[in-house]
Structure formats: structure tokens, C-alpha cells
Structure 1
Amino acid sequence: MNTKSPHIILEGSKEYKLGELKGNEIVYDFNEILTYLNAKGKLLFGTGFKIVIEDRDVLFKLCNYFIKDEANCKKLDIDIHKGILLTGPVGCGKTSLMKLLRHIVPHQKAYKLIPSRNIVFGFNHVGYKTIEDYGSTNYFCFDDLGVEPIGRHYGKDCNVMGEILLSRYELFLEQKVKTHATSNLNAQELEERYGNRVRSRMRELFNLIAFDSESYDKRK
């Protein structure tokens, strides 16, 4: 990361300018960000990756959130202090975008992207310490939230991700620690999965950004 020029990102020998530095503030250019994301996506996911025009609205919201453009976020009804819950059909690109977008703001605290099912497998192995571990002040993005199995440790069932979300909610209230997530489920399905209490906390934890339900599977 170039601390003197945080608006310029170096990938190998190529520079990507995401905007202009005016005083201590970066004035970002959305089209320049898309150019960089397209290039970085190819480096991370292979040459078949591309930003598609159908995703432009979702990307505009996500980019404004990550660069903390308060004026645009206010217009888009996005709270920059909350996390992101990115929802949409299987294969529409949720995980890839959450892996990718953190690279446009290398000067911000990074989050770890963890598959929810892996967290449950960890719980099955070591028990409630897993829930404590994810109740830390680290930033996380829980991938594929809502389709993980129920946890089971020493014969006792536990809705592991539901418990973790409650812990993350407390952290958000006390220390403004952010949590992100991706999910194939809609709000009603998430409520059925986790219950009304967790769902109401999720409304306070997350900004909901959704792909169109007709978004196609980009993995095909």
C-alpha cells in the first residue's frame, strides 16, 4: 500500500488510479474503480472473470460503502457504520465481490472471509470456544450464511451462526465492530432459519444489498 498515494494501487508493475487526492481526501472515480476491479478480479479468480453491466447498481452501492462516500450512501440509504449483508441467487458473484472489494481500500481494516459451514464444523470439533472466537473484535465476512448445518457438540444441538450473530450484535453496540455476510436466502428465509430475535438484530447489524432475483449463475 502506498501511504502517500492511497488513491493509487500497484499491481505488479501496473498502477491503477482510483481517483484524485485532494488534501487528505480521495475523490474517487467509479469508472476507474471498475477498471481496477476488473483487472484485480482476473488476477484473483482467473482470466474468465469480468465485471458485467447488469451488476453495476449493486457495485455502485458496494463501492460507495467501502470508500465511505457519506453523501452517496445517504442517498442510497446505506449506513457506513453498519456491515453489509449481500444477498442473491447461487452463483451471482457475492463471494467474489466480497473478496474483491476490500482491495480498493487497502488503508482500511481488513475482514476475513469465512464459510459459515466451516465455522459449524469447527464448533462440532471444539465446541463453544468457536462461538467465543468469532465474538472477538476482528472483522469477519460470513460466507453463505443460512445454509450451514445445525451444530452438534457432545450430543447437544446449537444454531451456531445464530449465536455468533448475537455476539457480533453486542460487539457492534459496544465497540462498533463491523460484521459482513453473504447469503442465498432472502429476509423471510433468514428469519425462518434463525428466528425473529436474531433477524431483528441483523437489521441493526447490516445494510441489505441484494442482487436481482433473476441474476444469472456466472459459474456456468
Structure 2
Amino acid sequence: MKLSCLRPLAALLLTLGLAACGGKASYDVSGSIGNLNTNGLILANGGEDLPVEAGQTRFTFKKRIDYGTDYNITVKQQPAHMTCGISGGSGSAGHYINISAAVSCSQNAYSVGGTISGLTVEGLELINGNATTTVAKDATTFTMASPVADGTTYNVTVTAQPKGLKCEVQPGTGVGTMGEANVTTVKIACNPV
């Protein structure tokens, strides 16, 4: 018999043995963590809070739970500059030998955009990183096609000029480090050639 078949049988026998002598099986409430790059994450389960440090890849609550007890792992506080979600974080102990939730985190991202003056014809194209945005004729505002992760640098530049115009990003407005909000301060001025 394969070892993988023996594990569930052993767990069942242990549970039955404990139940026969009046004891209950207890379980760790634990799981994995992916991409946690900043501090501030606090998980919660059944009134217990668990602070989680940046870089951790596993978590385990201090309180174990008994067979048949419900668990519901939630994010009580998001980490700085990130958003975390949980899969497999709720259920009833005893259906599986281990309770194992998965916490997955991603960097928050925001849009970069601003205002345009003097654009009277088609053909203006802007780029930030690898994201290119074509701006419509007569537009007075724009938003780049791809959001930028919090804490990273953005650098909006003109990659294609409209016919008969020269458009330039105004000094001091097209480059910066993304914060915790959309950037709407990039200014582009188009003038006849």
C-alpha cells in the first residue's frame, strides 16, 4: 500500500481513537504567504490577531482549534502599499488533516495622467515604461494605458508627434515616484511647428 494512502487512514484512526477516549483532535490554523514585500499585514481568526512581517512565506496562529470548530481567516489590516487576499481561509476543522490557507499579496498600482494643451490633430503618442498611449485629437486630458506600481518610477515621454505640431512634456511634470494615489499632474503642451 502506498504511503499516501496510509496518511488519511492514520488521521482517521487518530481522530476516532481520540473521540473514543473523550478527546478531540486539534488543528493548527496556518498557511502560505506570497509576495509580501512590506510590513503591516495583520491576519485575524476567531478573535486572534496575527501580525505578519515582510518576507514571511508561512503563518500559523498560536491558538489551535478543535475538530468541528469553524475557522475564518481574514485580513484585518493590509500591509503598506499592498493589497492581500486569502483563498481557502474558511471552513470547519476536521475535513482535512491540516488547515492551510493561501495569502497572496500584490503591490498597489495607480494611474498616471494629466493635461494637454494645443492638440488639434491626431498622432500624439506617449510612452511610460513599455506602455504606449495614443491620445485623441482635441483631447485636453490623458491617462496612460497601464497603471504604475506604488513606489516605482514613472517617466512619461512623447514617442510620436502629431503632424504640424511639436508636443513636449513640461519640465518637472513627467517624471516621479508613484505614491498612494493617481498622478494627474503631467502637463503636455503642443505648439505649431
Q: Same fold (TM over 0.5)?
A: no
* TM-score band, normalised by shorter chain: under 0.3
Structure having the higher strand fraction is 2
Please identify the structure whose Cα radius of gyration is greater: 2
Structure having the higher helix fraction is 1
Provide TM-score, normalisation by structure 1: 0.18
Provide TM-score, normalisation by structure 2: 0.20
Greater RCO between the two (CA within 8 Å, min separation 6)?
1
